Structure 1
Amino acid sequence: MATTRLLGTSDIPAEHWRAAQLIDRTPFIASTFEPRAQASYCMYVPKQHYELPSITSRKLPLIVTIHGSGRRAERARESLVSLADRTGSAILAPLFPTGVGGDPNEAHNYKFLAYRGIRYDLILLAMLDEVAARWPGVATEKVFLVGFSGGGQFALRFFYLHPQRISAVSVGAPGVVTRLDPVVEWPRGIQGVGDVFGGLEVNVDKLKEVQHVQLIVGGDDVENVGGGLLQWLRMRNAMSDPLSQAVGSFQLPNRKEALESLYHEFLGAGIPSSFVVVDGVAHENMKVLPSIIEFLEPFLT
């Protein structure tokens, strides 16, 4: 069966962009790169700023916001719309469903980038290629990556593997941190990365070229990661593949401790980074959001 060509803003007259759902808030669009993942994405493209590329115009910066375990991708997009309007930026919000790869109970797949042959980092790269085709006036070669909780895990690991595609990144309160440690196995450290990701390695020199890494967490985000559910899963030997590899029988540090330790590793490696603690806040995305926006805005204008 013939493949239908993707139509974008360079194909459709500007007066029809809204009717074609190519401007402002888009619906969710299925990603065709890896059907097993059943992934999709939505966009926000501010009409007042978007135009086709020309000698005199600049492409819109692209913010990529990664949802947490609750998969509220649309909410993640909406939380940054005001920032996008102020700065003339576009937003990409992927959606990575649970229950894929043959395990109906699996909920952590995307966080670790590789799950039963599904490469979530490559899915995002394919989404960026689609965005470039539909919206040639959006800059996709380098993006501004944001993630909190489960999204923070994705953002951190994507930063490790593809720093050349990132201008700046905000890593918010990840439950399981991948340390910049070459003697600890992936995903707790970076040993064996090439075996998991087809020869890709973590290149610290490339990490240092990213403009800035924000590591952000609430000051009261000190509860045990996973709580009682993690212990329940351990007792029943019922942890999913990626969670078992990352957690196993280890006692995880709380999010604040883990992120502070990572910050010191980044400092030692010369990676431009900051450690931001939002006082009086627990594991609450919307309450740290103002500090994330404050971090992003200067890079976008």
Structure 2
Amino acid sequence: MHQPNDKPSRGLSAYDFGRTTVYACQADQRFSYCLYVPAALREPQAREGAGVLVVVHGTERANQALRDSFAPLADALNLIVLAPLFPGGIGAAGERDAYKYIEDKGLRYDHVLLDMLAEVGGRYGVPTERFMMFGFSGGAHFAHRFLYLHPERLSAVSACAPGSPTLLDPDRDWWVGIAGVRERFGRDIDLEAVRRVQVHLAVGRDDRDTDEITHAPGGAYWMPGANDSGRTRVDRLLKLAGNLEAAGVPARVDVLDGVTHSLDPMVGAASAFFRDLISPEPISLAAGGGGRE
């Protein structure tokens, strides 16, 4: 499953462009996604060169609002925005965090996302072999871990304000480090491929609340070293940046003055990062366009 598919489905309608409805993932209907598809992609020839940007929600799971935040960038750069929804409570009642760590009780959230991508590629006839990814907070957990496991699928990734980073440390067990990755995920980390991905990290300089990111013994994701990357999200992001740099994975790092744990400034920083990668000319990021609501 989750094989890239660039053969377009027939019968696209007005509902398939702009802000789309929510679709159940056909490979696993417990999960769903919505899209933003620029009006320019109504023309089949335009879709041949289109890109895909996956935007991964945080714990609040406001995936439709997150999709809408990237609509201006999508219009400017000819991108389809795919916003998955990983509902809470899949593995156990009240569970909120499993998707952030990629795997839980045998469920592979990375595979669910790849199935969604294959579905979208098949519907629109857009290339999905490589794509870009953004994640904020809990979504940034997912994004940087997805980078380690599937670097060959990513051209660029923006991980903003992850609270509990995984370091490229072979001497510490997953999730704090990367020891045991082959046993857990069935593949090694291809560091050379990771180095080929453009990486962006961002955090607000005033993002200093530690309540949600301090792991304690008995917690679901407690393990030795869980808090060793620092006390705040700022400390932990800078630790992750230094760790990547030491492994030969340079990252563009934005520490935004006057910003707390807030999505909109992160979307702005990530949009500038993606824009600079794709378009050397200045472009307008005015409010995104239409389609059915």
TM-score (norm 2): 0.87
Regions of 4+ moved over 3 Å: 244-252
Contact kept in structure 2, 1:61 and 1:300, CA below 8 Å: no
In structure 1, C-alpha distance between the alignment counterparts of 2:238 and 2:131, rounded to whole Å: 25
Structure 2 counterparts to residues 28-47 of structure 1, below 5 A: 28-35=22-29, 38-47=30-39
Counterpart in 2 of 1:207? 194
Which structure ranks higher in relative contact order (CA pairs < 8 Å, sequence separation ≥ 6)? 2
Shift of residue 139 of structure 1?
Answer: 2.5
Counterpart in 2 of 1:222? 208
Counterpart in 2 of 1:104? 93
Question: 1:11 aligned to 2:22?
Answer: no
Any idea what SS the aligned residue of 1:123 has?
helix
In structure 2, the CA distance between the partners of 1:125 and 1:227, relative to structure 1 (3 Å rule), is: closer
2:41 to 31, 34, 49: 49
Structure whose CA Rg is larger = 1
Shift of residue 288 of structure 1?
Answer: 2.5
Any idea what SS the aligned residue of 2:39 has?
coil
Structure 2 counterparts to residues 62-211 of structure 1, below 5 A: 62-101=52-91, 103-136=92-125, 138-197=126-185, 199-210=186-197
Counterpart in 2 of 1:59? 49
Shift of residue 59 of structure 1?
Answer: 2.2
**Matched residue type, 2:17:** I
List runs of 5+ in structure 2 lacking aligned partners.
1-6, 280-293
**Matched residue type, 1:92:** L
In structure 2, C-alpha distance between the alignment counterparts of 1:104 and 1:247, rounded to whole Å: 27
Contact kept in structure 2, 1:41 and 1:92, CA below 8 Å: yes
Shift of residue 261 of structure 1?
Answer: 1.1
CA RMSD of aligned residues (A): 2.2
**Matched residue type, 2:260:** A
Any idea what SS the aligned residue of 1:174 has?
coil
List runs of 5+ in structure 1 lacking aligned partners.
1-7
**Matched residue type, 2:158:** S
**Matched residue type, 1:259:** L
In structure 2, C-alpha distance between the alignment counterparts of 1:110 and 1:227, rounded to whole Å: 16
TM-score (norm 1): 0.84
